[in-house]
Amino acid sequence: MKAWEVKKGNKSVRDVLIKDKEGVTVTNLADAQEIIFQIKRKKTDVALVEKTKSNGIAVDTPSEGYLRITLLPVDTEVALIVGDYYMGLQIKWSATDIYEVKIEIDNIEAEFFRVKQDTVR
């Protein structure tokens, strides 16, 4: 299983293609009420890092199905220690229409977010 890897204290940007359960690209991202990306120690824990549609998630090409998640150095330096974390992405169109989105890296599903030591620090 792949992981989104970042060196501690560095900025990281990832474009994510959103597909539905049938594998069809979602083209109505601009209509989403909420988009939330979280990094947690355990799946059931409180988020250590959270990015939203208004803070760290850009939907610049909604009709093409892409969104961009940007983690700043403060996200990976202060809140996270070196190690593996769980990550999750949720898109909400209405109270009853909510997607839990799987993130793929190199066409392989990635559930983990990995912080590595930056050799310069």
Average pLDDT value for residue range 114-118:
86
pLDDT of residue 70: 96
pLDDT of residue 20: 81
pLDDT above 80 for 79: no
Tens digit of each residue's pLDDT (9 = 90 or more) over 28-63: 888 899 999 999 998 889 999 999 998 999 998 888
pLDDT of residue 71: 95
Tallying the residues shown for the chain, one arrives at 121
- Per domain, the residue ranges of the chain are 2-116
Q: Which class is 2-116 in CATH?
A: mainly beta
pTM score of the predicted model: 0.88
**Residue 26 to residue 42: CA distance in whole angstroms:** 28
Query: What does the mean pLDDT of the chain come to?
Result: 87
Contact between 56 and 76 under an 8 Å Cβ cutoff? The reply is: no
pLDDT band, very low/low/confident/very high, at 6 (cuts 50, 70, 90)? very high
Average pLDDT value for residue range 110-114:
84
